[in-house]
Amino acid sequence: MGTGDEPRETGPRMSLPQLRLDDLLSELQARLEAARATRDRVHALLEAVVSIGSDLDLETVLRRLVGAATTLADARYGALGVIAEDRERLVQFITVGVGEQEIGAIGHWPEGHGILGLLIKQPQALRLPDLGAHPESYGFPPGHPPMRGFLGVPIRVRDEVFGNLYLTEKRDGREFEEEDEVVVSALATAAGVAIENARLYDLARRRERWLETSAEISTALLSGGEAGPVVELVARRVREVADGTLAMVALAETEGDEFAVVAADGSEARKLAGARFADAGVAGRVFSEGRATRLEDGRSGFAFADVVVGPLLVVPLGTGSAARGVVMVAREPQGAVFDDGTQRLLEAFAGQAAVALELAERRRDAERVALLEDRDRIARDLHDTVIQRLFATAMTLLAAIKITQKREVAVRVQRAVDDLDDTVRQIRSTVFALQSHAGEGSLRSRIHVLVDGVTEQLGYAPSVRLDGLLDTIVPDEVANHLVAVVREALSNVARHAEADRAEMSVDVGDGELVLRVTDDGVGIAPGEHRGGLRNMARRAQDLGGTLETADAPGGGTVLTWRVPLPADDDA
């Protein structure tokens, strides 16, 4: 029986449960911390997804995506590379964590070699403890910040790999973990939806701008606007809507072996306006085949060596027999390559512009035909009615001269008859002008333009009478000489005659052309030899004609330039 003095063994039995409880509490606390960290990361992921999806501008979405990925993975550097349509390189590179000085030191962004190229060829998540130790590593250019830890995740838009997220250097110096990969992959999956929405929104917005531009061009052409300013508007709108730096419209020449630039807009456009180039390059191929072409480097297909361009898009202006030329738009070197959406929209726009141009030309042709028909009607009326009545009146007055008894009356009647004859000649000249369908390049038009130009120099408008079929039977060589002589004769009147009035007439008929210029000036002094007169005389001699100068009846000078015209069978 015990005495009550035996030692009790209660200490060790009580410390063991206490240790187990501490371990359980520590484990519970660790799990709570992990759950809290997971909760925080999930919240951060959700916030990042909401932030990315809250904007529809593609550039903004991509930059927010890179920033969110670096935050979630606690990375020092982040980048997003957009893959080209050929699936072999990067066409856009967006970075976070690299300063302006570092960017300047690097020189140019990666194009898709090494590890970045591996992710393009094998679009799956990739974690590396040491980036430089991988056999596919391509190394870093001079000035590039040091990087070791790496995490790459593909970004998919539907079934297409849009690009890749690249993260390097965790801030705490540790390696990227599986949890980092899971979170960033989840973010990339959600970002694919946001990118698709932004691309669809951008496409819809560009389509709307193209439609507005097409409506603007069609309205300007079909409302009677001149083709020149409208084509310039086409070039300007193409550059703006396609986000290009240079755009131009080139029309094929009649022979089809050369293009003429009729409108250009953007940087260095002044070097292209009015230029011509052969159709042996990209433009000729697009025009002949009727299919658009995109070039990553437009210098290989651009006809102007002194104009530096980057990506180039060339589309036909019309197709088949309605093809008129090409529309070209370029971006600056290192700019983004034109995508399928831009090409399709520009093709549709160019097709509509070609139709609008065709319709505008047909409308102008119809208006021209109506005008010519109206001019023919007026000419017939003048010839059949007005001239016949004037002629009958002159005959009546001539008969009256024979029966009049007073010389004064006879003189006045004769003067009236002379005035009627002159009026008949002027009307006949007008009839010839109406029936000749003179255009901007006709001889009559050239003479009138020349006279209008010298009016300011003269100080008054000279009287002009053009009689006969100037635009029908006068050869081009004679016409060119005539224009030069008219210019010289009127210039002499302005410089030397000191005249208050001048008259000019050109008569075509009886196998010759006669130009007379009469002024009421001081005349030509005896023995005076002017270089202009010698030039006009030489021109007449070259054509087998003569030049004569005489004193005008009331003072001044009469200059007569007379040259023969070829017979009808020689013309």
Q: Residue 69 and residue 176: Cα distance in Å, rounded?
A: 13
Q: What is the mean pLDDT of residues 266-270?
A: 81
Coil, helix or strand for 559? Answer: strand
Q: Residue 492 and residue 484: Cα distance in Å, rounded?
A: 12
Q: Residue 73 and residue 98: Cα distance in Å, rounded?
A: 17
CB 493 within 8 A of CB 499: yes
Residue 3 confidence (pLDDT): 47
pTM for the structure as a whole = 0.49
CB 346 within 8 A of CB 329: yes
Q: What is the largest CA-CA distance in the chain?
A: 193
Pick the CATH number of 39-201 from 3.30.450.40, 3.30.2010.10, 3.40.640.10, 3.40.50.300: 3.30.450.40
Highest-confidence segment of 52-66, 119-133, 394-408:
119-133
Closest by CA to 327, choosing from 299, 347, 305, 309, is 347
Low-confidence winner among 30-44, 379-393, 501-515, 534-548 (lowest mean pLDDT): 30-44
Q: Kindly report the number of other CB atoms within 10 A of residue 278's CB atom.
A: 11
Confidence band of 335 (pLDDT split at 50, 70, 90): confident
Higher pLDDT: 159 or 38? It is 159
Reported in sequence order, the residue ranges of 253-357 that DSSP labels E, i.e. its strands, are: 258-266, 276-278, 293-295, 312-317, 325-330
CB 279 within 8 A of CB 261: no
Residues of the chain with CATH 3.30.565.10: 438-571
Q: Kindly report the number of other CB atoms within 10 A of residue 337's CB atom.
A: 20
DSSP letter for 177, please: P
Coil, helix or strand for 397? Answer: helix
Q: What secondary structure does DSSP assign to 84-143, as a single string?
A: PTTSSSEEEEEEES--HHHHHHH-S---S-HHHHHHHHS-S-EEES-GGGSTT-----TT
Exposure letters 172-209 (e unless 16+ CB within 10 A, then b): eeeebeeebbebbbbbbebbbebbebbbeebbeebeeb
CB 327 within 8 A of CB 360: no
Q: What is the mean pLDDT of residues 517-534?
A: 81
Q: Residue 163 and residue 160: Cα distance in Å, rounded?
A: 9
Confidence band of 2 (pLDDT split at 50, 70, 90): very low
Closest by CA to 149, choosing from 123, 124, 172, 183, is 172
Q: What secondary structure does DSSP assign to 330-348, as a single string?
A: E--TTPPPP-HHHHHHHHH
Residue 233 confidence (pLDDT): 81
Residue 319 confidence (pLDDT): 74
Residues of the chain with CATH 3.30.450.40: 39-201, 205-358
Domain 205-358 has CATH 3.40.50.300: no
The one-letter amino acid code at 511 reads G
C-alpha distances in Å from residue 19, one per residue of 11, 12, 23, 28, 31: 13, 11, 6, 14, 18
CATH number of 438-571: 3.30.565.10
Residues whose CB falls within 8 Å of the CB of residue 136, separated by 6 or more in sequence, listed in order: 114, 115, 117, 118
Residue 545 confidence (pLDDT): 93
